[in-house]
Structure 1
């Protein structure tokens, strides 16, 4: 990782002793110092750095926070790569392509550390081509006529998009039927379709078993089991009665009714022809 632009390069090695075999100055500047941990694989690197006047700064033993910048970048790249694999339903055998694509996307992502510029823009002094980005692991159709050996071969076939070529301005396409990798600039993408998702029966709804046409269901439809109807609204017939006899319904005795006490009645005043006279007498 370049400490100035935060640009990241990733190299996959079979052994850790193979790292840092060559240093190139492609940006009209020399490397002044290199920060790394105290691993034994850097012994050969220290000799190389001394010959070229480059300072090798090493973090203290068991003190990863002194090399925290690159440790965080490693974790970010791994988490992004695993996210790409999970989102595209690809198996872990494609982890190398996923981590390379994660690095490619990380270098083109704006960050507030660089005043909302991407590491690519800070290093190359130009805005990256975001239209070139495609969905990782989606279905793609590369132009394969230059690869064909016969004229009657198809000019394209369904492949899986695995990332961007570091040596070409093109896309990496994987043919699942032949396990071949093609690099092509002219590719048609179907970013809503993921071939490995369709190949998993438990992830694909279209490949779910047809229960309506299964042999078990057909046998049940052709030979339905005999069911005894149960009427929950009619009480069961006593054993002494036959099925042809009618059911006698005896009405239930009504509960005894207790007369309610009558409310107290106020005395009725005598009837007078002159009602107003009666009111005066009451007053």
Structure 2
């Protein structure tokens, strides 16, 4: 499903080392374009996978799972979050603990995505995101698609105040088609991940990352007939999450995060 370019994979050439690579693509020009496949397969991916299902393939993931356990055990989170605002890591943890067992959680792109991936509590639901492709504005349309495919399941889209502003058309689609989706905006008034990148790599020389305290998200919710919630303190967070998840209408919750909180130290 990917071209294995340097946007999706940091060092594509490393994949060629001691690995068997099966490259499937309907376009012959893409085969071997970025890495050399062991087995090139040209054709419709659906038909190829249907053919592969005819074989008894029993992969062993034991070593990989054990490696992941070691990595997780040795990772120590040294991040600190500004008092007086919402701790985004705890917010995601508490939110997903309270969501339905089979709920669908959709993360957008940016700091919200990484906080979500780090702290999402896996039960029997689904976690949807775009990985490293950087497709801002993904969460709300993806959540609409998920809700239409599984109308009886709880669907929550999480985005930043930058990516949220790329999806106003989808709010109209939700209203016009009576699609009940719950949306959370982690608001820090910045393109947070880009600001963090400029902090780490350009000596805090910031360009085009400050969003300011606009737009008025409460009025946006009113314009699209959505219930509105605004959580600013950890003391009220759990109660407001419960109210947000319990409401039957489409809902917008603004989660106020300190503007300089980072995803890594």
TM-score above 0.5: no
TM range (shorter): under 0.3
Q: From the CA coordinates, give the structure whose radius of gyration is larger.
A: 1
TM-score by length of 1: 0.25
TM-score by length of 2: 0.26
